[in-house]
Amino acid sequence: MIGVAVSDSPYGGYKDIGIVYNKDGYRPDSCSWDAQSVHNPHIKRYNGKYYLYYCATADPGENAHVKGKLSRRDRLQQNQKLGVLCFNSIKELLEGKFSCNEQPLLAPRTRVKPDNVLEPSPEGTVTKPDNLILVNPAVVYHPLKKKYYLYFKGNVYDPTWRGVHGVAIADAPEGPFIVQNDYVFEFETGDNRKLNAEDPFVWYHRKDNCFYAVFKDFTGGFTKGKPGLAIMYAEDGIHWKLPEHSLFMNKEIILKNGERIEVDRLERPQLLLDENDEPMVLYSACSVTPLNMKQDGSSFNIQIPILWNK
C-alpha cells in the first residue's frame, strides 16, 4: 500500500490522510503487474507535475516457469518491477485522478541465478545490473544533459547473493527509460570483495556541478566504522567516488536534550532539499530495537534536521 501524510512543518507533526494506491494490499489478485505489493515510494515534482515512483509485484502463480522450487513469497520477491504514478496535485492523487502504467516502467532484462529462479534467462546469459528484480527507485534530473536518471537495485549471484545498483536514463520523467549496463555505487575492497550501497537517495547539486548520494552502509565498510548512513559523489552520475570522510550519519537519534539513542534500523533515507540543493531534513524508516520478527508496529518514520557542511 502507498499512503499520504501531511504536516505544516517539514520537521514533524505529520498526520495520515489516507491510502492512495493498492488499498487491498497483500491479497491474491493478479489483475495487474502491481496488484499484490506496492512499496518504497519516491516522489518528485518536475515541470509542475508530480511523479510517484514505486516498486511492486504480483504472484505469477504455481504454474509459472520456475527452475527449482519457489514459495509464493519467493515468487513475489523475484517478480518485483518499477512503476510510476503521474498526477497534478496531492488532492487529485487522493481522489484517484492519476495516470499509471498498464505495463511496468522498468522490468529486469536478465534473470540469472544458479537455481530456484522465476522465468530463468537462457544458459550463458551475461548478467546485467537489472538482474532478477527492480526495487528502490531514486530519480534525479541532470540539468546540463537535460536527462532524467533513475537509479535502481537488482540482485546478482557471484557466487552468492549480492545487491547491486544500476541506472536508466530518459528524456522525460515518465520515461521511456533506457537501462545502462554500468554498475553504480559499487567499490572494490582489494580482497576480491565488493562494497555495495543500499537505499540510495540521489540529487544533483547545481553549484557544485555534481551528483551526491546518501545511502545505507550495511557493514561500515564504506566509512571504515560502524554501520550507518554514508555519502558519495559523482561528476557524471555514473562513476561514483567516496570523499575522504564518507560518514553522513551514525545509526542513532539525538534528542533535543542531547541524549543519544542507538537504533537498530535507519533505512530508506530521503532528503528534503532547499532552493540551493542543500539538505534540510532527512526522512528515514527507523526502529530502536531489532525489527525482523516484530508485528507490533514499533517501527516508525523519523524526521531529522540536517546541517549541510561539505
Q: What is the pLDDT of residues 228-270, one digit of tens each?
A: 999 999 999 999 999 999 999 999 999 989 999 999 999 999 9
CA nearest 304: which of 244, 231, 248?
Answer: 248
- The residue among 293 and 166 whose pLDDT is bigger is 166
Distance CA 220, CA 198 (A): 12
The predicted structure's pLDDT at residue 28: 64
Strand order across the beta sheet in which 135-142 lies: 135-142, 147-157, 161-170, 178-179
Cβ–Cβ under 8 Å, residues 77 and 60: no
Residues 6+ apart with CB under 8 A from 73: none
216 near 226, Cβ under 8 Å? no
The whole model's pTM is what?
0.94
Instruction: Determine the pLDDT at residue 32.
Output: 86
Q: What is the mean pLDDT of residues 72-91?
A: 95
Does 152 or 96 have the greater pLDDT score? 152
C-alpha–C-alpha distance, residues 22 and 41, integer Å: 12
Can you say how many angstroms the Cα of residue 112 is from the centroid of all Cα atoms in its chain?
Answer: 22
What is d(CA 249, CA 272) in angstroms, rounded to the nearest whole number?
16
> How much is the pLDDT for 188?
84
Which is it for strands 37-46 and 66-67: parallel, antiparallel or unpaired?
A: unpaired
- List of residues 6+ apart from 301 with CB closer than 8 A: 14, 283, 284, 285, 286
Helical segments of the chain, H only: 72-78, 90-94
If one counts every other C-beta atom within 10 angstroms of the C-beta of residue 210, the result is: 14
What's the rounded Cα separation, in Å, for the pair 77 and 39? Answer: 12
Radius of gyration of the chain (CA): 19
pLDDT band at 295, cuts 50/70/90? confident
Asked if the model's pLDDT at residue 26 lies above 60, the reply is no
**Cα 285 from chain centre:** 12
What does the mean pLDDT of the chain come to?
Answer: 92
| pLDDT tens profile 179-223 | 999 999 999 877 778 888 999 999 999 999 999 999 999 889 999
Q: What's the confidence (pLDDT) of residue 36? A: 87
**Per-residue pLDDT at 289:** 87
pLDDT at residue 310, rounded to an integer: 61
